[in-house]
Structure 1
């Protein structure tokens, strides 16, 4: 019986030592949370590029790379022009385009988003003003389409 008491006492001391010696941090929950946040940011980042609601036309064109020095111009269904998210007052487009510095060597890439319900002439008028201001690098933004027209 004395042996049984001594052996149970030593096993308690052994368990106490093991608990006190554990200094590891379980990083699995941290990694799980970080991966979920990464996925959320990857899904929402493309949606934050422009806040102007536009029904874009469909196209099978290949996507272009995003560049940090690009300017997004949008023309909504009513024909109002937006540079990034700020509306351009009527008649002020040439003055706004003059600030882009399109005639310099490091001119920004202009991405033009236009609603599919717009008149073709309205889109061409804006592109003509871009051309007149010296902006020669213009990309037209569309939705991806799965089938050929």
Structure 2
């Protein structure tokens, strides 16, 4: 009688327990999917960044990323743009935004320093004040 919890008329009493196993299974699958896809969403144009001992930047909001690859091609976020239209494009982006967004400049280590500083100068001339150069973290020193 204790197994079925039947009443006098043969009906079963409502079960007061909730089976959460299927929900936990779904949540674990979603967690794995997000863990795999999150690093893929962050990366942009592949650039061989120089090493630096500077600490990592805080990521409060989505910054504007300007990338220069090894050939000197210029990208805003993931879109390739001609180098001569960079100033006009940056001015249009600055005029369209109401806040003062961060601008990250990523350049390949093989590029000429003057080329990188030309791009940084155009970013500054467009009105952006929060400009940062992005580098890869320095490798840890080997201990003897």
With the shorter chain as reference, the TM-score category is: 0.7 to 0.9
TM-score, length-normalised on structure 1? Answer: 0.73
1:111-141 deviations in Å (ceiling 9; x for gaps):
1111122222211111111122222211111
2:30 corresponds to which of 34, 37, 61: 37
Answer yes or no: is 1:109 the counterpart of 2:83. Answer: no
**Match of 1:122?**
115
1:90 corresponds to which of 83, 93, 97: 83
Tell which structure's C-alpha radius of gyration is larger. 1
Q: Structure 1: which 4+ aligned runs deviate by more than 6 Å?
A: none
5+ residue gaps, structure 2: none
Structure-1 separation of matches of 2:77 and 2:65: 5
TM-score, length-normalised on structure 2? Answer: 0.76
Deviation at 1:143, TM superposition (A): 1.7
1:47-90 deviations in Å (ceiling 9; x for gaps):
31342111222222111121325211111111111111111123
2:67 corresponds to which of 67, 70, 74: 74
When the two chains are superposed, the root-mean-square deviation of aligned CA atoms in Å is 2.9
Structure-1 separation of matches of 2:51 and 2:25: 37
Higher helix share: 1
Answer yes or no: is 1:56 the counterpart of 2:49. Answer: yes
Structure-1 separation of matches of 2:62 and 2:34: 21
